[in-house]
Amino acid sequence: MTLHREGRGTILTVTLLVAFINGLVFSTVTSSWISFLVAAVSLLFWVFILSFFRIPSRKLTIQDNAIIAPADGEVVVIEEVQADEYFSDRRIQISIFMSPFNVHVNRNPVSGEVVYSQYHPGKYLVAWHPKSSTENERHSVVYRAQGKEILVKQIAGALAKRIVNYLQPGQTVKQTEEMGFIKFGSRVDLLLPMDAKIQVKMGDKPKGGVTVIATL
């Protein structure tokens, strides 16, 4: 397991803060149990921050006709929708909710060309709110693969205040390579062609870069 580069500043800040608080408490507080409690809580918080930016070792799935999960989390939406961005037709939407305890690296679901990459400012509704897909801060990417196009939205939640996306139109990308990162919980939506064969169901917990979401 390694730590993601997006966490360097946060990890350094938290490390210095934890060290300062513990140093202050141990030098000024005479009660040993209070000092122990502060140390234990701050250590747990520090470990949580480290785990949030983890990149676990995995055998990633490479499959030409497959759409691989772009994120860890839980499948909370599988439905037919009218597309409201880039596409004008109906699509199958699959939404993956990411809790603060999930791995937050986002990966390319397919190999192909990036034909659209757009950031949208917005609100910070809780990530499972139905309107979060269209009203929250988000970044949308459209990939062209196997002669078809799919859209992936990185969506901020109530805690997520920063979406990072590395892709630009015209890029050729490879399946399971990093597309971006979202800090502190949110969701990822996929808008797939109507003839895509869905391989997951509600409540499933896919692993980013590993689980086959659908096939083309």
pTM of the predicted protein model: 0.86
pLDDT at 127 over 60: no
Task: Please state the rounded mean pLDDT for residues 89-115.
Answer: 94
Within 8 A by CB and 6+ apart from 170, the residues are 113, 114
Task: Give the pLDDT of residue 146.
Answer: 87
Residue spans of the domains in the chain: they are: 2-55, 66-206
Task: Pick the range with the lowest mean pLDDT from 14-23, 90-99, 118-127, 146-155.
Answer: 118-127
Average pLDDT, the chain: 90
Catalytic residue among 95, 133, 140, 186: 186
Calpha distance 187→167 (Å, rounded): 18
Percent of the chain having pLDDT more than 70? 91
Calpha distance 195→82 (Å, rounded): 15
Enumerate the H helices of 93-173 as residue ranges.
132-135
Task: Give the pLDDT of residue 129.
Answer: 58
pLDDT at 93 over 60: yes
The number of helix segments (H) and strand segments (E) in the chain equals 3, 15
Task: Please state the rounded mean pLDDT for residues 71-94.
Answer: 95
Identify which of 97-101, 128-132, 176-180 has the greatest average pLDDT.
176-180
Percent of the chain having pLDDT more than 90? 65
Amino acid found at 86? Y
Task: Name 180's bridge partners.
Answer: 106, 165
Q: Which CATH class name applies to 66-206?
A: mainly beta
Q: Would you call 27 a catalytic residue per the annotation?
A: no
Task: Please state the rounded mean pLDDT for residues 127-155.
Answer: 83
Give the pLDDT band of residue 159 (cuts 50, 70, 90).
low
pLDDT at 65 over 90: yes
Task: Give the pLDDT of residue 158.
Answer: 63
Task: Give the pLDDT of residue 106.
Answer: 95
